[in-house]
Structure 1
Amino acid sequence: MYLEFLEQKAIAAAPLECKPRLWKRYVDDVLEIVKQDQVENLTQHLNSSDPAGPIKFTYEKEYENKISFLDSLIIRKPDGSVKLLVYRKPTHTDQYLHFDSHHSVHQKLGIIRTLFDHMNSIVTMDADRNTEEVNITSALSRCGYPKWSFNQVRKKMKENKKVTSKKKENMESKGFFVVPYVAGLSWRVSKCLRSLASTQL
């Protein structure tokens, strides 16, 4: 709450020349768009907004049209648009739970699923997604994961996607009904409507 108050106060009072065009924060990581020659000025302004407070802002500039934010690597393309890749720190070792370890197969397949979900939620271009999938399978293969484990996870993900799509279609076709809350009555109406909807499926 304190950080939220501080950033709102600081951004509102920022000089026009260094006011950020974009400010997105998650916990203590901030992604901002500001003029290149104003990064230092903005940082000084932020830190002067509460000089006695415990929070100090530091910055990392975009380098070679790339900057990381959380688990994403943001790359600025020549046409001005951006694409996202999965970001790994330079110290990342690609070491995961070995397939021969004494853990359930379900847990090991969950690791594959997690990495695939991570890839699908971050990477924006199909070609980069294919490259990332090769990186994942190569890293896990070195940890003993057999080919059938990847195939099983892919199959399950496709099945879940179909089920989710079907559920959405059913939900969209039902529509919705809103009634004001009346003690002792609203739940009875809700129960009748749910019963009616289930009989029409």
Structure 2
Amino acid sequence: MYRLKDDPTLVDRTSLHVSDIRRMLEFCLNNAYYIFEEDLYLQTDGLLTMGSPISPPVADLFMESFEREALLTAPNPPRIQKRYVDDTFCVIEREHLVSSLSHLNNLRKDVIKFTYEEEPNDQLAFLDILVKRKPDLSLDTTVYRKKTHTDQYLNLDSHHPESAKGSVLRSLFQTADNVSSNIEEKRHEKTHIRQA
């Protein structure tokens, strides 16, 4: 609720008081019903993820608060830390990995549990980015595709509008420019797109 209380623009967007918004949120979160095999259930733990428009922003607000607390109380804070929803990329000294994981998992052990992946061959995938560690310990990035990726996007012979087809290509080239950290990687990625 601190986000609502600290928001100076809230009064411009709604006549509701923060306590009213809180009560409505609590009602929605405490009345998460769903149907499974024709039986009605009330979810009593966690957020209803399927079909509930309120769950993603609430989960993101939780993660933002959790992240702030974790970083402020970390005995060995990461050198780099990036998050997208519940996926987190951290650069941590290897000798602090176990204690850092323990710190995260003890903050709210009833709510969230973290796992980790180490970097095989000095590289690690994070979302659709492959992060590579260079010998000087700096990082390079390029587009990442899972082994099961098929390079199939939108059939050019389909009946989609030409604008949609062009949008797919523009998006792929824009991703190559935004994700690839050096000219060689950008060139390689754009060649891959043209050949796909």
Of residues 42, 60, 63, the one that matches 2:120 is 63
Figure out how many residues of one structure are paired with residues of the other and give that number: 136
**Matched position secondary structure for 1:64:** helix
Instruction: Give the CA deviation at 1:46.
Output: 0.6
**Matched position secondary structure for 1:102:** coil
* Matching of residue 9 in structure 1 with residue 66 in structure 2: no
**Matched position secondary structure for 2:117:** coil
Q: TM-score, normalised by structure 1?
A: 0.63
The within-5 A match list for 1:1-201 is 1-15=61-75, 18-53=76-111, 55-139=112-196
Instruction: Give the CA deviation at 1:87.
Output: 0.9
RMSD, aligned CA: 1.5
**Structure exhibiting the larger radius of gyration computed from Cα positions:** 1
Distance 1:103 1:132 in 2: 25
Instruction: Give the CA deviation at 1:38.
Output: 2.1
More strand by share: 2
Show CA shifts across 1:124-169 (max 9, x none).
2212211111111111xxxxxxxxxxxxxxxxxxxxxxxxxxxxxx
Alignment gaps of 5+ in structure 1: 140-201
Match for residue 149 of structure 1?
none
Instruction: Give the CA deviation at 1:59.
Output: 1.0
Identity %: 40
Instruction: Give the CA deviation at 1:97.
Output: 1.1
Distance 1:120 1:6 in 2: 32
Distance 1:115 1:84 in 2: 15
More helix by share: 1
Distance 1:52 1:79 in 2: 40
Instruction: Give the CA deviation at 1:77.
Output: 1.3
Q: TM-score, normalised by structure 2?
A: 0.64
Alignment gaps of 5+ in structure 2: 1-60
Distance 2:96 2:148 in 1: 31
Distance 1:122 1:73 in 2: 9
Distance 2:73 2:164 in 1: 50
Distance 2:69 2:63 in 1: 10
Which moved further from structure 2: 76-85 or 113-122?
Answer: 76-85
